[in-house]
Amino acid sequence: MRLVALIAFFSVSTEGLTALTNPEQEGEALFSLKVYPTLSSKCFSCHGKDPKKIKGQLNLTSREDMLKGGESETASLTPKKPLLSPLYLASTRDHEPDWSSMPPKDNDRLNSNQIREIKRWIELGAPWPNQQRRAMYTAKERAKVSTSEGILIETSGGLSEEWTYRRYNPEDLWAFLPLKKTAVPPGSLNPIDAFIARTLKETKFKPAPQANFRTLIKRAYYNLTGLPPTPYQIYQFRLAWDKNPSNAWNKLIDELLASPHYGERWGQHWLDIARYADTGGYSNDYERSNAWRYRDYVIRSFNNDKPYNKFVVEQIAGDEIWYSQQPDQRNPELLIASSFLRMGPWDPAMVKAPQARQIYLDDIVNAVGQTFLSTSMRCFKCHDHKFDPLPTRDYYRMYAVFAGTQLAERPVPFLESENLSGLEQGRNNTQKMLSHAKNKHNALYKKQESAAREWFTQEGRDYLDENSRRKLPDKEKPPRHVGLSPEEQGRMKVRKQDEWIWNRRMERYKPMAQGVYNGPDPKTLNARAMRMPKSPGNQPPPQSHILMGGALNAPGDKVSPGVLSALKLPVTTEGDDPYKITNALHGRRLTLAKWITNSRNTITARSIVNRVWQHHFGKPLARNPNNFGSKGGKPTHPELLDWLAADFMANGWKFKRLHRIIMTSETYRQSGTHPAIKKLRNIDPDNNLIAYREPRRLTAEELRDSLLKTTGELNPMIGGLPVSPEINMEVALQPRMIQFSLAPAYQPSRSPQERNRRTIYAYRTRGQPDPFLELFNQPNPNNSCEQRDSAAVTPQALTLLNSQMMTDRSIALALRVEKEFDTLHLQVKRAVQLAFGRVPSKPEWERLKQYVSRMHDYHLTHQAKPIHYPKSIVRSLIEELTGQPFEYEEILPVFDNYVPDTRSADVTAETRSLADLCLLLFNSNEFIYVY
Amino acid sequence: MSTSIRIPICSRREHLFGLGSSLGALAMTDLLAKEAASPLAPKKPMHNPRAKAVIMLFMEGGPSQVDTFDPKPNLNERHKTESSRSAGLATGFRFYVGSPFKSRKVGQSGLDMSDQWIHLPEVADELCNYRGCQAESLNHPEALFHMNTGSRLGADPALGSWVNYGLGSVNQNLPGYVVMSELALPQGGSRNWSNGFLPAHFQGTRLRPEGSPILDLHPPGNKTRKHQRQALDELTFLNQEHAKKHPAHSELSARMENYELAYRMQSEVPGVMDLKDEPQAIRDAYGMGEKHTEKFGRQCLMARRLVEKGVRFVQIFSGGWDSHDYLERGHSSRIRSVDKPMTALIKDLKERGMLDDTLVIWTGEFGRTPDNNRRGGVYSLGRGHNIDAMTMLLAGGGVKKGAIVGATDDIGATATESIHPIRDLHVTILHLLGLDDNKLTYFHGGRYKQLSQFGGKVISELIA
């Protein structure tokens, strides 16, 4: 079944079916190659395949039956007369109600080619060659690699011959074909400009002019660090720019690439794809207490300009490399890197262990495919891929690669490069919560047990504690929850759950990592504590199979671990199949990772340079960074993409070099306006030509970070334990159901210094997104995010105007400018300068001053009320044990000696009026868009 | 072919109608409402609809079929005897649990209801009890996601989002999909009413039961409405100055208009939520003012008002049905909290002539087992999760009246007649609304996606 030679260089065959001169042959060939397969896949299942389940008494599996017709008693077929043939009429879906559309489901509709083929076949007299002759026509056709129908692609083989031998439009396969070597077009210093200019030239439009220095510095700062430049940085850049723009620009890029904030910004892009969160999601939403170490690993990797190929291998197989190292030479960071394999949402609660494993494996196969190979693997889990040369066999080969991959929190010593500040304090705070839960739990337990003791005494039996009496018959022990009221029963459950939660959090302060190891499937799985067995052994995992229809209980062909065969990149020269990977327990993932990062892998480098491009320009060259298949958007500049990918690999897979090439291009420095913008938009509404710069709204993280930077509140510390910024207090204290009961309330970090860190360090709970960040499109970490949304919706306006967070920032900025300048005149100027990176125009300046004065009068008569933080809250919950509401007290010790931000009530009317202005600046379009 | 799977760059109008997680376009003026470009503009159904709106009463936790509407005398006979069923993950000794409640026939049609339902028999002849649905996930959040979004993953668009995507909103001043819950969100949280891959306008809007109905709806206490007006005027000035420098940037004006909408919403939303203009008799009928029914009653009355104003899909989550132990107390109290309000809702809808084209659904995410495992080492009288059988009520909107559709076996363990997966229920709901699941598709991630994932069947037995 394996095909031999293939796609390399082929000439398009002119020998299509229609070229057959003899109408009989044409009809037979058409039937054998096209019509019969269509009938077989679309019609037979209801019309003949199973004689017991024939619909409408219509059998379509032979010419005779077709001529006989079904319950309508009309022949389905009138040879040579398609318009009198219901078979054809029903398939067009245009002849209701005379002939109901077939197949009935709209999604199963025949495509226009299939309909045309049926029509033509009927016109040709509807010949029906026997199976032998059909096979002859088929064999003849399959001997041709390329025909007008497309090309054949050799793969490990589909579930059906039709699939294996189907043909593809080579244009759809761009990502599976080798990089095209294209010479850089002449005429430009920067290769990017050369490629962009060549396409643009065909349209007679000129590129937009270069942006001014002020736009450029803001663009570069946000792009590389996610933060705005300070007025002083802008001033210095201007001095340098006036001397020599090109030197100034290059120097700026170098400085920003060297800034540790670079890793935070670009690490965030990676975490979007990897689905970073600090909890595991689903019902328990258990904390993944050491996930932060992976977050910092990613940031470090970008800051150290780690070659991408190394970055990939470490994340897929870091633990395997670590395992193969000499015990005294092992690099613990490799174990942290493999936390990538733990980033998806997963919890085995209430799922049988084999299914929980399958859910994990499906998730990780898809994650690896989307992240590194821009391939949505889910599309060929249940059947061969509908559009791409990806057989389900290859899905299960990749699945088998991970068959021995097990999850565990592993001991990993802290690294020198890790920020461990706040560890002690965090541990103490958590210990406080844990002790509280334990004490409450113990008190209730004691109450229960004293009642139990009484019961035993009355019954004249010896007391046994709860665990020891568990197995006794009911008559020999007190009732469950003896001595506890329904309310107390509910509270007991809450406290018990709290104990688990805080016990888990204690692990945050231990030298551990969310890791993986190779070994046998554990008998039981519980996300509360995933631990590695002492000796996992070396036994290879059991034989893997294709799971037919994705079902565990429907194993099909056996499969070995392997890679995607359509890429034509072997992993081995040994054995019968070059795409198979070792069957041993160890090394499966490492081989896969090396295959992914092989310089002849046609997708990997394209995938990453496409993502880098995307984050410089707002749009990727190939529009679906997670899906390079035929249904993803094709690259707008395929040659440029290939050139960038080749150049990237040839120069050590280095990101910083790629950033420099892109940012020093004139294309990158284009202005957001174009002299012929209207005409240009008519012919190119999506700016596929990249003829001008498209503005973008700040992302959620950039917005929060910029506010803090502008007010001077930002603590620029890099890395470390997750922090808890203040979030909307209604949401923070709002009860949230998890598996057995309510989750503990959200408590912000104690001091502004701790809270006002960059957003990438904010604790991320899958079950409780920060409403501010969510509103500004921070993605749902349950899905890999290939591109952020930035839809402007009304609630954004409400939050930017009215939220406590925004009020706090506006007061902080007001206080800052008051501290720096004495007169309202200069304070207004400074506020505008800090927020916009420019001084106000005269009319702006005057008007804004007047506004502040008016607001001053207002605030003289409108005092603000202080805000109080609760030190504990009373929860009310309907207990599922009893159906009764019950209450319990939850402590919020962080508010015992909390340092709040400065609030309206703490400041004068002057400050409040100035803060009114600051709030407007933060709400303005100029603040929120980058050009 | 180059196909973009992303939402196209929004037109100015789309921004205006952007709802996000709030009432969004609430204050849309008539002028704008009439313009057709809005993704929320009303669309014609695909076929003659039987219902225009849906009110879904979601009993989170999974109500027990045998203790509500599907009595099993056989089960009562086996009370506390050993069960041979294997159920879900539970292992070890299992025993049958008879229903603590008596059942009786109610209404002309003789529907079965346990004696805990005191009010609901009054509307029995409007109800259709469906016993054939089977769920697929044993755990709460996955099962909730499944019932709400058609997928256990919790990342796909909710039923209510699909309905609004298909039909648009009649009232441009209100969101088309409103969700109410207790203060605590159901398991899985807002993913249960997320727009998934559909545009953000179709997201469910949660009206919070306490505090601000929509987060940050109102300015801090020291700022008056007049103060806010002045601020907005100043902001407009700043934005206009900015727009002069960026004439090519089309999103700027949309963002400016969002602020005006936000301003108007501040006065409109409280009006929608204010039930004071409802007559006392109506409020009493819904059980408002009574401790056990106050919250759910208020929400049911809100639901009627919202549907009256043209909202397509209203969902009310009511938790606490997960009776693993103490079934009698648990279910008795839960039934009590919803019985009076939902009875009033159906009566009220009928009296106003709204029931004919409003589909009311009462359901959980799955059913419960006829037996239990020993919990804490004792015979605990409760029930586990059951995906093979459940029970639901439907009323109005083109479904049969006073009917029982489907059946379960003699102990209520598994459905035996009219068996359908959740996706068929979804397809049926869409069908009643005039939408064809196979045609209601959205291109995303390389294929046309639909609510049922891969197609489903209309449960024709339910339809009158």
In a domain, B2, yes or no: no
Exposure class string for A143-156: b at 16+ Cβ within 10 A, else e:
eebbbebbbbbbbb
Burial A674-683 (b: 16+ CB within 10 A, else e): beebeebbee
For residue B239, give the nearest of A629, A884, A925 by CB distance. Answer: A925
Contacts of B235 in chain A (CB under 8 A): 920, 923-924
- What is the per-residue pLDDT across A150-184, written as a single tens digit (0 to 9) for each? 999 999 999 988 899 999 999 999 999 999 998 99
* Entry field: residues in chain A: 931
Query: What is the Rg, in whole angstroms, of the alpha carbon atoms belonging to chain A?
Result: 33
A711-727 pLDDT tens trace: 999 999 999 999 999 99
The pLDDT of residue B239 is 95
Cα–Cα distance measured from residue A310 to residue A316, given in angstroms and rounded to the nearest whole number: 10
A925 closest CB neighbour out of B155, B255, B265: B255
Average pLDDT over chain B reads 86
- Find all residues with CB under 8 Å of A121, minimum gap 6, and list them: A27, A30, A31, A34, A35, A127
Nearest Cβ partner for A924 among B239, B249, B378 = B239
| ipTM entry | 0.86
A471 vs B2, B377, B446: nearest CB: B377
Residues of A in contact with B446 (CB under 8 A): 376, 379, 387, 624, 627, 629, 631-632
- Answer whether residue B412 is part of any domain: yes
Contact A920 B242 (CB under 8 A): no
pLDDT score of B10 more than 70: no
- Residue B7 predicted with pLDDT over 50: no
User: Which of A634, A787, A798, A888 to probe by mutation at the B interface, max B CB count within 10 Å?
Assistant: A798
Quick: pLDDT tens for B116-130.
999 999 999 999 999
- Verify whether the Cβ–Cβ distance B5 to A686 is below 8 Å: no
Residue contact B4–A633, C-beta within 8 A: yes
| φ and ψ of B26, to 5 deg | -45, -45
**Residue B35 reports pLDDT greater than 60:** no
Which amino acid type is present at position A859?
H
Cα separation of A748 and A761, whole Å?
13
**Which chain B residues touch A774 with a CB distance below 8 Å?**
21
In order of A14, A288, A760, B219, B458, the CA distances from A716 in angstroms are 65, 25, 12, 30, 58
Residue B390 placed within a domain: yes
Nearest by CB to residue A882, choosing from B188, B194, B330, is: B330
Rounded distance between C-alpha atoms, residue B198 and residue B440, angstroms: 12
> Of B240, B149, B150, B236, nearest to B195 (Cα)?
B149
Q: How far is B5 from chain A (nearest CA, A)?
A: 8
In this complex, the residue of B2, B21, B23 whose CB is nearest that of residue A633 is B2
CB B358 within 8 A of CB B163: no
Among A627, A925, A928, the residue to mutate for chain B (most B Cβ within 10 A) = A925
Contacts of B222 in chain A (CB under 8 A): 859, 862-865, 904, 912
Cβ-nearest to B320 among A796, A804, A880: A880
pLDDT for residue B13:
33
- Residue closest to A725 by CA, chosen among A745, A700, A698, A750: A750
Total tally of structural domains belonging to chain B: 1
Smallest Cβ–Cβ distance between B211 and the set A486, A730, A841 belongs to A730
Listed as ranges, residues in chain A with pLDDT below 70 are 1-21, 107, 879-883
B255, part of any domain: no
Q: Is B216–A880 a contact, with Cβ atoms under 8 angstroms apart?
A: no
Nearest Cβ partner of B446 from A379, A466, A470? A379
> SS3 for chain B, per residue?
CCCCCCCCCCCHHHHHCCCCCCCHHHHCCHHHHHCCCCCCCCCCCCCCCCCCEEEEEEECCCCCCCCCCCCCHHHHHCCCCECCCCCCCCCCCEEECCCCCCEEEECCCCEEEECCCCCHHHHHHHEEEECCEECCCCCHHHHHHHHHHCCCCCCCCCHHHHHHHHHCCCCCCCCCEEEECCCCECCCHHHHHCCCCCCHHHCCEECCCCCCCCCCCCCCCCCCHHHHHHHHHHHHHHHHHHHHHCCCCCHHHHHHHHHHHHHHHHHHHHHHHCCCCCCHHHHHHCCCCCCCCHHHHHHHHHHHHHHHCCCCEEEEEECCCCCCCCHHHHHHHHHHHHHHHHHHHHHHHHHCCCHHHEEEEEECCCEECCEEECECCECCCCCCEECCCCCEEEECCCECCCEEECEECCCCCCEEECCEEHHHHHHHHHHHCCCCCCCCCEEECCEEECCCCCCCCCCHHHEC
Is B140 in contact with A283 (Cβ distance < 8 A)? yes
- C-alpha A869/C-alpha A875 separation (Å) is 16
Say whether the peptide bond before residue A771 is cis (omega within 30 degrees of 0): no
Q: Between chains, do B262 and A376 touch, taking CB under 8 Å as contact? A: no
β-bridge pairing B442-444 and B447-449: antiparallel
Is residue B12 one of the residues assigned to a domain? no
Q: Does residue B1 carry a pLDDT above 60?
A: no
Question: Which residues of chain B are within 8 Å of residue A791 when distances are taken between CB atoms?
Answer: 7, 10, 14-15, 18, 20, 199-200
Residues of chain A contacting B423 with CB distance shorter than 8 Å: none
B415 vs A544, B66, B111, B420, CA distance in Å?
34, 12, 18, 9
A840/A846 Cα distance (integer angstroms): 9
The CA radius of gyration of chain B, in Å to the nearest whole number, is 23
For residue B238, the chain A residues in CB contact (below 8 A) are 844, 920-921, 924-926
Distance from CA of A523 to the nearest CA of B (A): 13
Backbone φ, ψ for residue A497 (5° rounding) = -65, -40
Would you give the distance in Å from CA A597 to the centre of its chain? 21
The answer to whether A56 touches A76, Cβ cutoff 8 Å, is: no
Whole-angstrom CA distances from B169 to B42, B160, B172, B257 are: 5, 11, 6, 20
Q: Is the link from the previous residue into A781 a cis peptide, with omega within 30 of 0? A: no
Contacts of B231 in chain A (CB under 8 A): 801, 916, 919-920
Task: List pLDDT tens digits, range B426-454.
Answer: 999 999 999 999 999 998 766 788 999 88
Residue pair B195/B343 in contact (Cβ under 8 Å)? The answer is: no
- B165 domain-assigned: yes
For B447, which residue in chain A has the nearest alpha carbon?
Answer: A631
Provide the pLDDT for residue A57.
87
How many angstroms separate the CA atoms of B29 and A754, rounded?
45
**pLDDT in the model for residue A880:** 62
- CB burial string A314-331: b at 16+ within 10 A, e below: bbbbbbbbbbeeeeeeee
Looking at beta carbons, which residues of chain A come within 8 Å of B21?
771, 774-775, 795
Cα(B462)–Cα(A588) distance, integer angstroms = 53
For B24, which of A629, A774, A794 is closest by C-beta distance?
A: A794
CATH number at residue B85: 3.40.720.10
Residue A532, number of CB atoms within 10 A of its CB: 17
Which residues of chain A neighbour B154 with C-beta distances below 8 Å? 782
Looking at CA atoms only, how far is residue A328 from chain B in angstroms? 43
* Closest approach of B392 to chain A, Cα-based (Å): 20
CB contact under 8 A, A738 and B376: no
- Contact at CB, B262 and A798, closer than 8 angstroms: yes
- Cβ neighbours around A309 below 10 Å, total: 22
* CB within 8 Å: A672 and B15: no
Is A394 buried (19+), middle (13-18) or exposed (0-12) by CB count in 10 A? buried
Judge whether A317 and A338 are in contact, CB under 8 Å.
yes
Taking an 8 Å cut-off on Cβ atoms, the answer to whether B220 and A479 are in contact is: no
Please report whether residue B168 resides in a domain: yes
Mean pLDDT for B184-206 is 81
- Shortest distance between the Cα of A88 and any Cα of chain B, in A, equals 22
CA distance B149 to chain A (A): 15
In chain A, count of helices (H) and strands (E)? 35, 11
d(CA A313, CA A489): 50
The Cα–Cα gap between A873 and A746 comes to 12
Model confidence over B153-163: pLDDT tens digits? 777 899 999 99
Q: What is the DSSP letter of A757?
A: B
Domain-embedded: residue B261: no
Taking the C-alpha atoms of residue A33 and residue A26, their distance in angstroms, rounded to an integer, is 10
Boundaries of domain holding B443:
38-222+273-462
Distance, in Å, from the CA atom of A839 to the CA atom of A826, rounded to the nearest integer, reads: 10
Other beta carbons within 10 Å of A576:
6
Chain A residues with CB inside 8 Å of B248's CB? Answer: 672-674, 677, 692
Instruction: Kindly state the average pLDDT of the residues B151-178.
Output: 85
Kindly give, in sequence order, each residue whose CB lies less than 8 Å from that of residue B315, ignoring residues fewer than 6 positions away.
B55, B56, B58, B148, B160, B177, B178, B179, B180, B193, B204
Element (H, E) at A411: strand A405-411
Helix (H, G, I), strand (E, B) or coil at A765: strand
Is the Cβ pair B231, A920 closer than 8 Å?
Answer: yes
Is 60 exceeded by the pLDDT of residue B29? Answer: no
The pTM of this model reads 0.82
Of A753, A751, A750, the closest CA to residue A894 belongs to A750
Which of A470, A802, A880 lies nearest to residue B377, judging by beta carbons?
A: A470
In total, the C-beta contacts within 8 angstroms joining chain A to chain B are: 303
A213 Cβ contact partners less than 8 Å away, ≥ 6 residues apart: A237, A238, A241, A245, A248
Report whether B55 contacts B314 (CB < 8 A): yes
The C-alpha of B65 sits at a distance from chain A's nearest C-alpha, in angstroms, of 17
